[in-house]
Amino acid sequence: MKKSGSPPKIDAQAATALVSGEHADPFAVLGPQLIDGRWAITALVPGAEAVQAKAPDGEIIATLSPCGAFELFSGWVQGQGRPGAYRLEARRGDARWEFDDPYRFSPILGEYDEYFFSEGTHLRLWEALGAHPVEHEGVRGVRFAVWAPNARRVSVVGDFNAWDGRRHVMRARGATGVWEIFAPGVGEGARYKYEIRGRDGATLPLKADPVGFGSEHPPSTASIVRDLSGRAWGDDEWTARRGALQSAHSPISIYEVHLGSWRRKAEEGGRPLSYWELAHDLVPYAKDMGFTHIELLPVSEHPFDGSWGYQPIGLYAPTIRHGTPGEFRDFVEACHKAELGVILDWVPGHFPTDPHGLGRFDGEALYEHADPREGFHQDWNTLIFNYGRREVANYLIANALYWLREHHIDGLRVDAVASMLYRDYSRAEGQWVPNVHGGRENLEAIAFLKRMNEVVYGDDASVMTAAEESTSWPGVSKPTNQGGLGFGFKWNMGWMNDTLSYMSLDPVHRRHHHHQMTFGLLYAFSENFILPLSHDEVVHGKGSILTKMPGEGFDKFANLRAYYGFMWGHPGKKLLFMGQEFAQGREWNHNAELDWGLLDHGWHSGVQRLVRDLNRLYRETPSLHWGDARAEGFEWIEANASDISVYAWVRKSEPGPPVVMVCNFTPVERPSFRVGVPAAGRWAERLNTDAEVYGGGGRGNLGGVDSQPVAWNGRENSIEITLPPLSALFFELETT
């Protein structure tokens, strides 16, 4: 046995590797170790001259001496057994400091975590990876865990260890590629990153946590420890009703919002609103406007404001631009208490190349493909996820569940689905790699999207997913067991392009493009569609929806009102980007708030009032939403009146009376216009976009008209109406 005065002998090569930060397995050397049948404690304590290990009662259990390598200390433990809890006391001159030794603690990750992660089926991945404040073996601290299978060494660094990668070198967990460590004394709010040495020994730029729950304010890039546990939600009533409110046959009208530019605090330098301020201001506004949902442009942490969140790095972190994760949850709960659903734009298609992000995370292509023909997105200069790698697919699918479970999000709108489905998306010949069958379809991405929807809906059928998919891919919103991708809804990009193109024409030319407005009905019931007038239509030089309308002054606003009437009467759920509900005049600017001062002008406030009333009518009238995805809920009355640019149709439902829509897209009033109707009786004029209260000319039908037994449009009965210029009218059959 060693003499008591002789310190434990530490292998010189191991000591050098520890001090230089190159040792891959410090748990094999540091902390309590059995050496030649006797327990010793070894510690790396930069800056110390002397170190002691003390029991909880203050008794010294080991005096650690320098062991030949600068900053490395080792000493024998008094007694025969393995030391229990202890703290290290370090001294340099008159300075003394105490801390718990991170290398005395056992692992936290369990065998099940390792097994499911290796399988790619760890659906609560965020509970295993990331930074979690916990109590471990009687000590409070943070457990850090990160996936880096190609790394030679991984350390967590932060203010708590002077960003010194030697102090908290992590423990490798077998073949999983996961590294973990318990850092005693670290708490919520701590800044941290991962220092990684790649397989070749090179130290990479410090990396933010891929499963971090918080981040610093940009342009700073460190992750922040956030505690997600212990919240008592108060939205049970909402979640119990959510399934019925989000079905394909319920009224869904979505207000799409970029939180950073909806409103700003001018008196405080134009800063964006906080989550709490948005709960106070945005939530009641959206509720008053009659929307059923708020859809948020991505709130996952992102480094560049100008990406609007569509180039995220912190997929598990609500952006700190508006507050903490807890405050974001407060916002979501405020929405639910106001009976508003919350949809997040979710971006599993690509990620930016910022050095602190996911790119070459452990020194090699890990989250992305190594071949740039598969792994680099030419349009956005971003990296594409490798969906064929089970751990990457697991990472993304678990992220979807994370937002739904941990933050009570009601739905996910998946961005840029078309770019995921096709290997040759926006690529020239020779710049893409065919699939195993030689085709252009991205089979791995297709499998990922199907699996994501199966997992999400299998976990909670009351939530919703929607795809921004701009091609004619079949069955986007069909269940996967019927050959579909499994989404709940699909954005109808074709409808948006066709109708906006038509509306931008001078009315004198519309007769030649008449069926751009009817074409969408040829496929309207092939998917569960959302009709989107989104942020994409009011950026990059496209102007606003108002500026797309022809004419000047009164006619421009009349065109817009008629178009909104057409949209709300058309089958499909509704989506309107913020500002368009009051006819924002200029193109959207993410660096400035909306032009709320426009509401002092009658035409703008009239459009706002119209959108509020359209939402109310849509919600309250079964025939306007019951058949949004059912062919039996729609019937043309007049689809071919191209010479006068008039359209008429019936919306029907099982539980309510039918509604007849009539739209006039010329500036010509038609005072005795006859329309065939599906039933005899009085037809109440439920809404007229030309009403004075909306800024129109006030021409209408005095509240309603009685049908006459005059055959018209192939029907036995008809009504004779005043059809104002550039207008949309809703008539509902009155019932006794």
Range 548-555 average pLDDT: 96
Q: Where residue 331 falls among pLDDT bands split at 50, 70, 90?
A: very high
- Average of per-residue pLDDT values in the chain: 95
Task: Say how many CA atoms lie within 13 Å of 138 toward its Cβ.
Answer: 7
- List every span in the chain annotated with CATH 2.60.40.10: 12-104, 111-224
Residue spans in the chain of domains classed CATH 2.60.40.1180: 631-733
Q: So what's the pLDDT on residue 37?
A: 87
**What would the pLDDT profile of 160-190 be if each residue is shown by its tens digit?**
999 999 999 999 998 899 999 999 999 999 9
Query: Which pLDDT score, from 0 to 100, does residue 4 have?
Result: 54
pLDDT tens track for 594-604:
999 999 999 99
415 is catalytic: yes
Rounded CA-CA distance 514/642 in Å is 5
Q: How far apart, in whole angstroms, are the C-alpha atoms of residue 18 and residue 610?
A: 70
**CATH 3.20.20.80 domain extents, the chain:** 252-491
The catalytic position among 180, 362, 368, 468 is 468
Distance, in Å, from the CA atom of 107 to the CA atom of 118, rounded to the nearest integer, reads 18
Q: Provide the residue count of the chain.
A: 736
Is residue 406 scored above 50 in pLDDT? yes
pLDDT at residue 532 above 50?
yes
- Does residue 397 or residue 81 have the better pLDDT? 397
- Look at phi and psi of residue 370 and say left if phi exceeds 0, alpha if psi is from -120 to 50, else beta: alpha
526-542 as b/e, with b when 16 or more CB fall inside 10 Å? bbbbbbbbbbbbbbeee
Tokens of 454: 């199966």
Residue 21 pLDDT grade (very low, low, confident, very high; cuts 50, 70, 90): confident
CATH 3.40.50.150 applies to domain 252-491:
no
Pairing label, strands 293-296, 271-272: unpaired
Mean pLDDT for the stretch of residues 609-618? 98
Compute the average pLDDT of residues 348-373: 96
**Alpha carbon distance 634, 216 (integer Å):** 51
Tell me how far apart the alpha carbons of residues 726 and 645 are, in angstroms, rounded to a whole number: 10
Please name the CATH architecture into which domain 12-104 falls. Answer: Sandwich (2.60)
Q: pLDDT band at residue 80, thresholds of 50, 70 and 90?
A: confident
Q: Which amino acid is at 730?
A: F
Q: What percent of the residues of the chain are helix, what percent strand, and what percent coil, each to the nearest 5? A: 30, 25, 45
Question: CB under 8 Å to 713, separation ≥6 — which residues?
Answer: 637, 638, 648, 675, 676
531 alpha-carbon distance from chain centroid: 19
Question: Closest by alpha carbon to 227, among 211, 213, 210?
Answer: 213
Statement: residue 371 has pLDDT above 90? yes
Count CA within 13 A, CB hemisphere, residue 333: 15
Q: What are phi and psi of 75, to 5 degrees?
A: -160, 155
Instruction: Provide the percentage of residues in the chain whose pLDDT is more than 90.
Output: 93
Enumerate residues 6+ apart whose C-beta is below 8 A from 160: 183, 185, 186, 190, 192
Q: Is 634 in a helix, a strand, or coil? A: strand
Question: Whole-angstrom Cα distance, residue 115 to residue 133?
Answer: 23
pLDDT at 1: 38
**Per-residue b or e along 95-115, where b marks 16 or more CB atoms closer than 10 Å to that residue's CB:** eeeebbbbbbbebbbeeebbe
* Backbone φ, ψ for residue 597 (5° rounding): -65, -20
Q: How far is CA 498 from CA 171, 268, 492, in A?
A: 57, 43, 10
> Measuring CA to CA, how many Å separate 370 from each of 24, 382, 411, 445?
25, 13, 32, 16
Neighbours of 671 (CB within 10 A): 10
Contact 451, 461 (CB under 8 A): no
Q: Which candidate, 242, 253, 248, places its Cα nearest to that of 489?
A: 248
CA angle 162–168–170, rounded 5-degree value? 150
pLDDT attached to residue 2: 44
CATH architecture, domain 111-224 = Sandwich (2.60)
Give me the pLDDT at residue 5, please: 64
Taking each helix axis from N to C terminus, what angle separates 390-406 and 111-119, rounded to the nearest 10 degrees? Answer: 120
Region 297-308 average pLDDT = 95
Mean pLDDT, to the nearest integer, of 270-292?
97
CA distance 453 to 479: 9
pLDDT value of position 3: 45
Residue 385 is given by DSSP the state B
| Candidates 256, 295, 415, 613; catalytic one | 415
* Domain 631-733 belongs in CATH node 3.65.10.10: no
| Tokens standing for residue 536 | 């994409």
Share of the chain above pLDDT 70, in %: 99
Phi, psi of 289 (to 5 degrees): -75, -5
Name the H helices within 289-389. Answer: 325-337, 372-375
Q: Which of 1, 77, 466, 405 is nearest to 256 (CA)?
A: 466
Whether residue 219 has a cis bond before it, omega within 30° of 0:
yes
Q: Over the stretch 44-68, which tens digit does the pLDDT of each residue have?
A: 999 999 999 999 999 999 999 988 7
**Sequence-separated (6 or more) residues with CB below 8 Å from residue 555:** 667, 726
* φ, ψ of residue 559 in degrees (nearest 5): -60, -45
